[in-house]
A and B are shown apart, each in its own frame.
Chain A
Amino acid sequence: MRIDKDLVAASATPLVLGILATGPSYGYAIQKQISELSGGRLSWADGMLYPLLHRLEAGGHIEATWGASKGGRRRKVYAITGRGLGQLESRREQWSIVAEALHQVWRAAQVAPPPPLPAPARTAAS
């Protein structure tokens, strides 16, 4: 299933911050982890992660240092800052409000008279 572009964009910041909250990481590993966490369903065009990382860096939510990969090449490693943790917490609250509201909508939609098509997600999203 392809996830809507806007939804991917909206979830990108909390995902990246959340992954970095568990420890420093670098671009490829972050992207791989997001892909694994979503069972491969949430994947971005590879190069698109970096502009987001740079935006978060410019905003002071994460900071970068240059380390080295196993092969000895330069690797940019990101770590979350205090500011980023604050941002993550605020995003978490926002998302749980949205998730809670959606949850109730799904439940109500199931209790209501049967929808014409077995696609409640589509009617709710439109």
Chain B
Amino acid sequence: MKTENAAEAQIERWRQAQGRHRAMTEDDVAELEDHLRAQMADLRAVGLDDEEAFLVAAKRLGQADAVSREFAQEHSDRLWQQLSLGEAAGAAGRAGRELFAVLALAAGAGLTVLGLTRWLDGGAVLARNLGFAVLPWLVAYFVWRRGARRADVVSVLGVAAALAAAVNLFPFAPGGSTEALTALHLPVALWGLAGVVYCGGWGLAGRRLMDFVRFSGELAIYYVLIALGGGVLVGLLVAAVSSLGHDLGWLVGDWVLPLGMPGALVVAAWLVDAKQGLIENIAPVLTKIFTPLTLVMLLAIVPVMVAAGDLVQIDRDDLMVFDAILMLVVALVLFAASARERLAPAGLFDWLQFALVAAALAVDAAVLAAMVGRIAEWGTSPNKLAALGLNVLLAAQLVGAGVLAARFGLRRAPFASLERWHTGYLPVYCLWAAVVALVFPLAFSFR
């Protein structure tokens, strides 16, 4: 009896050691424990005592590190969270150096943008060049943080330089809509380029791309938090100083925003990597809060649309609003997919996501018809075509997502197929953004 208890205690210690590896969930450990116990039973049957059986079985099961590494390779979604931890684990002194390097990169990004605002005379020229000022610093961060092949970095920066040259040589008509469209779409294409460096190549392997999606979502959360906090501080400062009779408004526009906004982006990127566990726990909660809320919002729109009747009369700016709604739904669905435990079976939440996609498509079908109606009635324009193109792309992704989500819900397809669909689709947006930024000005003679 005593040896049995001793063996149980050993199994308990073994289980805790396995559980410490973050690539393993409780279920994984339970499965391995079942293996361990079965092996021990077989060994006892050939005459080993409890303790010997445990030692042999545990040894055979592989050293905890080796097994967890294999698990980590299979579950790279769980691994990436400890990439940075594993690095940082040893050294407290390194943490200081790391912070210094991040702040240096953030300062670099901020100063570049600050210089650009002084050099260029504001307005449209500045707007379409901002992305090019930030991208190299973000790429530098990725390279420093996770390494990259030289060929990838060179090709990405080369493409960025070619884009920069093109959009600055274009003879845009002042105040034209293609100029605004280019400024609006370039950041998306540039974010795709950053993704190439992040994912370690142009191949954009599915799982790595999903990591980049998650990274982007968490970056957005951190960025908003930093911006909110910074906004409150600066607002209080300006209010306090102005109550004493001084005006600090110039400080905000001329210094704080140009320095702070790009700098915060680099810092937020670092926070995503360094403080992994934090947002990782929030992300699924956020998607679970906002999926039903967004669904309610969409369902509230439908009766209003039906009551409105003739949708062709909708103003163009309002059509942009519907693009924004679809983008929100796609972002929610994507972020939820990236934060999801891949092996978990389909549940209520997956059906909720399906309902969200279906509702968004129903609303969009009406809007799409309206857009086509507008173009048929008043002819095409760069703005209408850009809005229509984006809408078609978003709708196509949602149709695919809806079909696969239903199949997953009915257990006809694994979740991985949904994931593959999303990751395979993402580069399309970057290509479309590049087309709008580059081809539209040419096609519409820079109007």
Interface residues of A (CB under 8 A from B): 26-29, 31, 45-48, 50-52, 54-55, 57-60, 63-64, 69, 71, 73-76, 83
A and B contact pairs by CB, cutoff 8 A, 29 listed = A26-B34, A28-B35, A28-B39, A29-B38, A45-B67, A46-B35, A46-B39, A46-B61, A47-B66, A47-B70, A48-B62, A51-B71, A51-B74, A54-B28, A54-B71, A54-B343, A55-B74, A57-B414, A58-B343, A58-B415, A59-B416, A60-B413, A60-B414, A69-B34, A69-B37, A69-B38, A71-B37, A73-B33, A76-B31
Assuming A28-B39, A46-B62, is B34 touching A76 (CB within 8 A)? yes
Beta-carbon contact of A58 and B414 below 8 Å: yes
Bound form: Cα–Cα A52–B71 in Å: 9
Interface residues, chain B, with chain A CB atoms under 8 Å away: 27-28, 30-35, 37-39, 60-62, 66-67, 70-71, 73-75, 342-343, 411, 413-417
Which 4 A-B pairs have CB atoms at the shortest separation, nearest pair first? A60-B414, A47-B67, A47-B62, A51-B74
Assuming A46-B61, A55-B74, A58-B343, is B34 touching A27 (CB within 8 A)? Answer: yes
Measured between beta carbons, the chain B residues less than 8 angstroms from A59 are 414, 416
User: Is A27 a contact partner of B62 (Cβ separation < 8 A)?
Assistant: no
CA distance A45 to B34 in the complex (A): 16
- With a cutoff of 8 Å between Cβ atoms, the chain B residues found around residue A48 in the complex are 62, 67, 70
Q: Which residues of B contact A74 (CB under 8 A)?
A: 30, 34
How far apart are the CA atoms of A118 and B70 in the complex, in Å?
37
Task: Please indicate the chain B residues that have their CB under 8 angstroms from the CB of A76 in the complex.
Answer: 27, 30-31, 34
Cβ A57 vs Cβ B343 within 8 A: yes
> A45–B31 contact, CB under 8 A?
no
CB distance from A69 to the nearest CB of B (A): 6
Distance A76 CA – B70 CA, assembled complex (angstroms): 19
Give A83 to B70 CA distance when docked, in angstroms. 25
A117 to B66 CA separation, bound complex (whole angstroms): 38
How distant is the Cα of A55 from the Cα of B74 in the complex, in angstroms? Answer: 6
Chain A residues with CB under 8 Å of B38's CB are 28-29, 69
A5 CA to B73 CA in the complex, in Å?
17
- Of the candidates A29, A31, A50, A55, the one whose C-beta lies within 8 Å of that of B31 is A50
> Measured between C-beta atoms, what is the minimum distance from B432 to chain A in Å?
30
The answer to whether A58 and B416 have CB atoms under 8 Å apart is yes
Contacts A46-B39, A46-B62, A47-B62 known; list 17 others, CB within 8 Å: A28-B34, A28-B38, A31-B35, A45-B66, A46-B60, A48-B67, A50-B35, A50-B70, A50-B71, A51-B71, A54-B28, A54-B343, A63-B411, A64-B343, A69-B37, A69-B38, A76-B31
